[in-house]
Amino acid sequence: MNFKIPFSGRAHTYTKKEQEVVMEVMQNAIPLTQGCFQNEFQEKFCQYIGSDFAFAVNNATAALELSAQICQFKNGDEFICPAHTFTASAYPFIKKGAKPVWADIDKETRVVNANTIKLCITPKTKAIVVVHLYGFCIDMEPIVKLAKEHNLFLIEDVAQAMGTDINGKKAGTFGDFGVFSFHSHKNITTLGEGGMLIVKDKKYAEIIPQLRHNGHCAWDIERPNYWTPAMGNVDLPSLDDKYLMPNNYCLGEVECALGVVLLDRLDEINAQKRERALKIIDELSKYKLLQFHRVEDNRHNYHLLVAYVKDGKRDIFMKKMSEEKKIQCVVQYYPLNRYDLYQKLGFGGANCPQTDDFFDNMVSFPFNHMLYDYDIDYLLESIKETIEDI
Ligand SMILES: Cc1ncc(COP(=O)(O)O)c(C=O)c1O
């Protein structure tokens, strides 16, 4: 179908300056990976987010895998994860040996909270994964408290909520690990793939470079002749006397250099999305068919604009928007326990009624940064007309 407003596979275009940075680094950087731009990106990210340690990686899934690896799960260990999220929030932890326990979402905010997480804690719980889904920063303090009380790792999946904060403290800095994505859909994207892992504890931060790049580590001996002994040092990263297998999860220099300049635009992109979201939400407030989650401050970046469609009218709403208005809305975040992948692994059981209800009645509007003001006006008018028609 030819849509007037498609649900785009990318989030934004690039400015002239961003294009020039890419061209320049593409032509001149030596090396093209793990060079000065990686360092610059990590340092700037630390400053922006308010973290001591940041590691650029090839995507957020790799960052989740690294954090999962550091948890060092033992047989029978469990981790708590929202059922309502993208699949990559969960499977890296299963790959590293833990069993998921699915937490339900809160009806209004559409994310997990301390109460829904608490219900999932058992003596086998070793980690909690929270996901700031749709761009909304979860109320973290009570969750941090829970994690401390039960001695659990706390991982924040900030793939969608980069730049949001609660009273100035940025999403990702509450837990032991914060995971960010620069995937094509995200509010800023380093040419389609990219990620960042922030780490609170120096002990973990010290082994990430080795885990990230094939076990390579700096020489701990003097080498008067640079060529001997030859080849980079390769060792097994170790943590608490246990060895961890390395990976290759590096992000290229072109992407890192682009990330450096994109960070300057993140607040502006987030602010524009929030302003547009609030305009739409407020103008639709008299229509009760759609229920939005309205947040005025920087706690929400409206990475996605989603609504609950009441009275079982979701499908007719989407059909009309698609066929009559040529607007491509989508349905998002299939409850993970309902996926074949998790069912085949034996993780199909969940008690998440809000997750099911939201997924079965939600709509996600096309809402990328490339949309023009006239697209937003058309979207708004089309929603109004569709609701009136229904
Ligand atoms: C909530 C969430 N977590 C994790 C990911 C994985 O990110 P990446 O594609 O950078 O691996 C995504 C999206 O792609 C996501 O939306």
The pLDDT tens digits of the residues spanning 347-358 come to 999 999 999 999
For the structural domain made of 266-389, what CATH number should be given? Answer: 3.90.1150.10
| Rounded distance between C-alpha atoms, residue 347 and residue 87, angstroms | 13
Residue 220 has pLDDT above 90, yes or no: no
Kindly tell me the burial class for residue 329, based on how many C-beta atoms sit within 10 Å of its own C-beta (0-12, 13-18, 19 or more).
buried
Cβ-contact 216, 233 below 8 angstroms: yes
- Centre of ligand 1 from the C-alpha of residue 297, in Å: 24
Range(s) within the chain of domains with CATH label 3.40.640.10: 16-261
pLDDT (average), residues 355-378: 98
- Find the Cα–Cα–Cα–Cα dihedral 258, 263, 268, 272, rounded to 10°: 70
The pLDDT tens digits of the residues spanning 263-298 come to 999 999 999 999 999 999 999 999 999 999 999 999
- Centre of ligand 1 from the C-alpha of residue 283, in Å: 31
pLDDT for position 67: 98
| Rounded distance between C-alpha atoms, residue 64 and residue 91, angstroms | 9
Ligand 1 surroundings by CB, under 6 angstroms = 59-61, 85-86, 88-89, 131, 133, 157, 159-160, 181, 183, 195
* 85 Cα nearest atom in ligand 1: 1
Indicate the top mutation candidate among 64, 136, 181, 193 to test ligand 1's pocket, ranked by most ligand atoms within 8 A of CB: 181
Range(s) within the chain of domains with CATH label 3.90.1150.10: 266-389
pLDDT for position 8: 96
Cβ-contact 387, 310 below 8 angstroms: no
Task: Centre a 10 Å sphere on the Cβ of residue 283 and count the other Cβ atoms it contains.
Answer: 13
pLDDT for position 231: 87
* 194 Cα nearest atom in ligand 1: 10
Indicate the top mutation candidate among 61, 64, 67, 251 to test ligand 1's pocket, ranked by most ligand atoms within 8 A of CB: 61
pLDDT for position 96: 97
- Cα 212–chain centre separation: 19
* 63 Cα nearest atom in ligand 1: 11
Cβ-contact 93, 79 below 8 angstroms: yes
| Rounded distance between C-alpha atoms, residue 180 and residue 190, angstroms | 12
CA distances from 265 to 145, 163, 305, 332, 348 (A): 33, 11, 20, 27, 41
Q: Which helix (H) or strand (E) holds 205?
A: helix 202-212
Residue 1 has pLDDT above 90, yes or no: no
Residue 136 has pLDDT above 90, yes or no: yes
pLDDT for position 218: 82
Cβ-contact 71, 93 below 8 angstroms: yes
What tokens were used for 72? 């060092």
pLDDT for position 143: 98
Which of the 8 DSSP states describes residue 155?
E
For the structural domain made of 16-261, what CATH number should be given? Answer: 3.40.640.10
Q: What is the mean pLDDT of the chain?
A: 97
Q: Which amino acid is at 19?
A: Q
- Centre of ligand 1 from the C-alpha of residue 214, in Å: 23
pLDDT for position 71: 98
Length of the chain: 390
| Rounded distance between C-alpha atoms, residue 117 and residue 333, angstroms | 19
Question: How many Å is the Cα radius of gyration of the chain?
Answer: 22
pTM of the model: 0.98
- Centre of ligand 1 from the C-alpha of residue 159, in Å: 5
- Nearest alpha carbon to residue 158 among 54, 79, 232: 54
* Banded model confidence at residue 217, pLDDT cuts 50, 70, 90: confident
Alpha helices in 241-347 (DSSP H): 253-283, 314-323, 340-344
The pLDDT tens digits of the residues spanning 148-187 come to 999 999 999 999 999 999 999 999 999 999 999 999 999 9
pLDDT (average), residues 175-202: 98
* 183 Cα nearest atom in ligand 1: 10
pLDDT (average), residues 209-213: 97
The pLDDT tens digits of the residues spanning 30-87 come to 999 999 999 999 999 999 999 999 999 999 999 999 999 999 999 999 999 999 999 9
Query: 3-state secondary structure string, 54-95?
Result: EEEECCHHHHHHHHHHHHCCCCCCEEEEECCCCHHHCHHHHH
The pLDDT tens digits of the residues spanning 300-322 come to 999 999 999 999 999 999 999 99
More confidently predicted of 125 and 218: 125
